Amino acid sequence: MVFFACDSCGESLKKNAVEKHIFRCKNATYSCMDCQKSFDKFSYSSHLKCISEGQRYGGKDYVVKENKGEKKQNAWCEQVTKAIENVKEKDLKDILKQVSKFDNIPRKEGKFLNFLQNSLKIKNRGLCERAWKAIEVEAVKMREEAIAKSEEAKLKAKEEKEAKEKAKEEDNNAITEDLPDEEIKEKKSKKRSKRKLAEAEDNPKKSKKNEE
């Protein structure tokens, strides 16, 4: 959870308490208590997550370990942010902006609709459902993008592997061409021996039968 400090009065605030505090310190900025970055009353809501103590004091070799629940929640918050950017209706955009100020946004449709109606006091059920669908659209887009990136990475890795194998084969052929005939025969004989040995290790029963 992200916490802020009002740069005007110094009060510590949870993210969802900043909006109310704005009426008390109207022109104040708000500093994140983890990274110390300052935000105004418009930009603070986009600060969804901050560095941990491990990141701050762990040095350059520190590796962030993100748990599954946190990863899902961060992805969900990102979907809300993208939905805000893409929806055109003002009332729908306003609802999504309110939602984005909370860290623990429900990810199930039923709980999400109850959250809008009970916590945010939005009585228009149809509007709440449209807000859910707007986020769902972004969820589908993000899943498709993730799949496309994964496939692209696999293809790239395969191409790099094939290129390395081809280069290695070409180098071996170039070395073989420079060798005398006797050395070439000896090299081929060693390869055949290695291949037979590998086959024997993979199929010990078959190898034993051939020996008999």
Give the pLDDT band (50/70/90) at residue 62. Answer: low
Prediction pTM value: 0.49
Q: Residue 72: CB partners within 8 Å, gap ≥ 6? A: 107
User: 119 lies in which domain range?
Assistant: 68-141
Residues 76 and 133 in one domain: yes
Closest residue by Cα to residue 2 from 29, 21, 42, 30: 30
Residues 73 and 54 in one domain: no
Residues 96 and 45 in one domain: no
User: Side-chain half-sphere of 34: how many Cα atoms within 13 Å?
Assistant: 16
Total domains, the chain: 2
Residues 43 and 101 in one domain: no
Q: What is the pLDDT of residues 91-150, one digit of tens each?
A: 999 999 888 877 778 888 999 999 999 888 988 999 999 999 999 998 888 888 888 888
122 domain-assigned = yes
Average pLDDT over every residue of 33-52: 78
Residues 114 and 137 in one domain: yes
